[in-house]
A and B are shown apart, each in its own frame.
Chain A
Amino acid sequence: MEQLIQQLINGVSLGSIYALIALGYTMVYGIINLINFAHGEIYMMGAYIGFALTTFLGLGFAPSLILSMIGCSILGMVIEKVAYKPIRNSSRISALITAISVSLFLQYTMMYFVSPQTRTFPEVLKRKSISLLNGKIIIDQKNIYIVAITVLLMLLLQYVVKKTKLGKAMRAVAQDKEAAELMGVDVNKIISFTFAIGSALAGAAGVLVGIYYNTINPLMGATPGLKAFVAAVFGGIGIIPGAVLGGFSLGMIETVVSAYGGSVFKDAVAFAILILILLIKPNGLLGKTVKEKV
């Protein structure tokens, strides 16, 4: 029982990371219907920016987190302007391949500049842990930080999307691009803004994962990127609470599976759940079924 609780606590931390990445996927998909495969790489870049700031400039946790989020949002906007804007009206498959090419470009350019070796992320947070139930369950300070920051960012996002004018415009563009444009919404600006927010969240996830696991490498974005996408689909792609639900569920399922002897199969379980969800409820757990019209 204690082991299960301990694993669930770890799962919540892992799930926070997935949820942060999944939010970016889901927002971008919601607004331009593109599976942004490069999103995992933005997360990797976030980790590297955080690494550079803490190691070479000696900045603390909070400033490096914020600067890395800003850096990633700029990167996200640049990627959107340079790579995705020209293909906005082409077919799904060429959009997808463009996304894959951006992803490969970021991976291997980083590999060229920072070398493929794994680097150790500095300990910016002091090791401190709380033990519960006579030390049977240990909550590390890192876990608390990760979950707290994730929840904070999500509340902030929810506020921006639901309460501000910008959020209203985002929802309008997601619903119907042309109609939004006719109503005076600057669609290009909104798409840019969506990429900025999504990328900032991925950048935050990158810094947090660096702190949590202490190692980063140029290919670290590939698998979590795919899994976060699974999380986004799990909760219903295009739906913001869905991505959060999917991220946390996936993180917890994964840690529990690996705790009970299935560690080698944990990735397979994630994808099996994905297929199952797609077959039973293709619009995700929180998705609404849309009637097909000719």
Chain B
Amino acid sequence: MKKNIIIIISLLIAYLSGQYLINTGIIDSYLQLNIFLIGINIILAVSLNLITGFTGQFSLGHAAFMSIGAYTSAILTAKMGLPFIVALIASGIVSAIAGVLIGIPTLRLKGDYLAIATLGFGEIVRILALNTDYIGGAIGFNDIPQYTNWTYVFIMTVVTVLVIRYFLNSFHGRACIAIREDEIAAEAMGVNLTLYKVFAFAIGAFFAGIAGSLYANYFYFIKPDSFGFMKSVDIVVTVVFGGMGSILGSIVGAIALSVISLFLQNIPELRMVIYSIILFLVMVYRPTGLVGKKDKEGKYFKGLRKEDFQHVSAKGN
């Protein structure tokens, strides 16, 4: 209880000081843009972490849900003139529905195959958006009203983190973690695999849609290529960089990668080269990510580590 009060108070202080700094202009528009992007990236990374890090379902199509949310929000605010809060929630719901529709068939696949199927799905969404004239096609969707502000970004980031955190501590969340640990054992214990995989996928897609909506209504302009394969990879990289199966990791990862790319902006021609080297070094020397612990499972199952089962599961593949 005491811990909760401290969290609420510190969040309030963070929100108010952020608002104050933006109002007084100490945080200029460039810095503000980067802070908003960090917020959006946190939402994306935490939501993907639920799917990949906690439920163990490897998705390479998360940007597609972001794009579905972004376009939904753009249509609702720019074409239909609805208020932003309606568009924000609607884009989450539309993305979640898409997540369920995609999840039911594809989540029967495992590992690399699931990754490829989600990759294919992401590319299909991008190509469909490229060829739909109603939403601007390849030229992009222009003149989206700018509704996204500090309040929306802050609240949505906090809500995402809290909802996913509480979900993971619930009965359903533990079922998801059980699926990650061992599908067959989880099934034997009565966990409905398809239900929980799709459930996690839908929640992840919901928040990715919200992130898309925030993105669209901040930048006035969206185009299908912003949500391609590379964006999905970026989100996966954030999750792995921060640490799989760690919410704090995703937050740290999103902030760290944003700061790194901010610094690399001064050397545009070598930016991606250095980025790829950093990525490689982290994967080789710290494959568990910045915050991830080596023995994450130990927290839930004392005394047993995944390595103990590896000789068994290696045969099962």
Contacts and interface: CB of A to CB of B under 8 A. Distances in A.
Given A264-B127, A279-B108, A294-B316, A86 B284 contact: yes
Contacts of A159: none
Interface stretch (B20-28, B110-118, B198-206): B110-118
Nearest to B241: A97
Contacts of B115: 35, 96
A271 B121 contact: yes
Interface string A69-111: 0000000000000010011001111101110111011011101
A293 B58 contact: no
Contacts of B130: 264
What class of interface size applies to chain A in its complex with B?
35 or more
B251 to A, nearest CB: 19
Interface stretch (B10-18, B29-37, B85-93, B265-273): B265-273
B123 A267 contact: yes
A233 B273 CA distance: 30
Contacts of B124: 268, 271-272, 275
B119 A226 contact: yes
Interface residues of B, number: 44
B105 A112 contact: no
B120 A93 contact: no
B234 to A, nearest CB: 10
A264 B131 contact: yes
B159 interface: no
Best-buried of B108, B111, B276 by chain A (most CB within 10 Å): B276
Contacts of B233: 100
Interface string B280-317: 10011001000000000000000000000000100110
B272 to A, nearest CB: 4
Contact of A104 (B131, B270, B275): B275
Nearest to A91: B287
A173 interface: no
Given A94-B240, A294-B312, A108 B276 contact: yes
B240 A93 contact: yes
B236 A112 contact: no
B139 interface: no
Contacts of A86: 284
A294 to B, nearest CB: 5
Contacts of A102: 276, 280
Nearest to A262: B131
A271 B58 contact: no
Nearest to B312: A294
B297 to A, nearest CB: 13
Q: Is the interface of A mostly helix, strand, loop or mixed?
A: helix
Nearest to B105: A279
Contacts of B119: 226, 271
A175 to B, nearest CB: 12
B272 A107 contact: yes
Contact of B283 (A90, A111, A229, A275): A90
Contacts of B315: 293
A190 to B, nearest CB: 19
A33 B233 CA distance: 19
Contact of A230 (B120, B271, B312): B120
Interface in B46-81: 52, 58
A233 B121 CA distance: 15
A101 B276 contact: yes
Contact of A112 (B112, B184, B270): B270
Contact of A109 (B117, B184, B273, B287): B273
Contacts of B128: 268
Contacts of B156: none
A35 B128 CA distance: 26
B120 A97 contact: no
Contacts of B117: 274-275, 278-279
B150 interface: no
A35 B123 CA distance: 18
A105 B277 contact: yes
Nearest to A230: B120
B123 A268 contact: yes
Nearest to B52: A93
Best-buried of B109, B244, B283, B312 by chain A (most CB within 10 Å): B283
A282 B244 contact: no
B106 interface: yes
Contact of B120 (A35, A94, A271, A282): A271
17 contacts: A87-B283, A91-B287, A92-B111, A94-B240, A97-B237, A97-B240, A97-B279, A101-B276, A102-B280, A104-B272, A108-B276, A226-B119, A264-B130, A271-B120, A271-B127, A279-B108, A282-B109
Interface of A: 33, 35, 83, 86-87, 90-94, 96-98, 100-102, 104-105, 107-109, 111-112, 226, 229-230, 233, 264-265, 267-268, 271-272, 274-275, 278-279, 282, 292-294
List the 9 closest A-B pairs by CB distance, nearest first.
A271-B120, A108-B272, A104-B276, A105-B276, A101-B279, A268-B127, A94-B287, A101-B280, A101-B276
Interface of B: 52, 58, 105-106, 108-109, 111-113, 115-117, 119-121, 123-124, 127-128, 130-131, 184, 229, 233, 236-237, 240, 244, 269-273, 275-277, 279-280, 283-284, 287, 312, 315-316
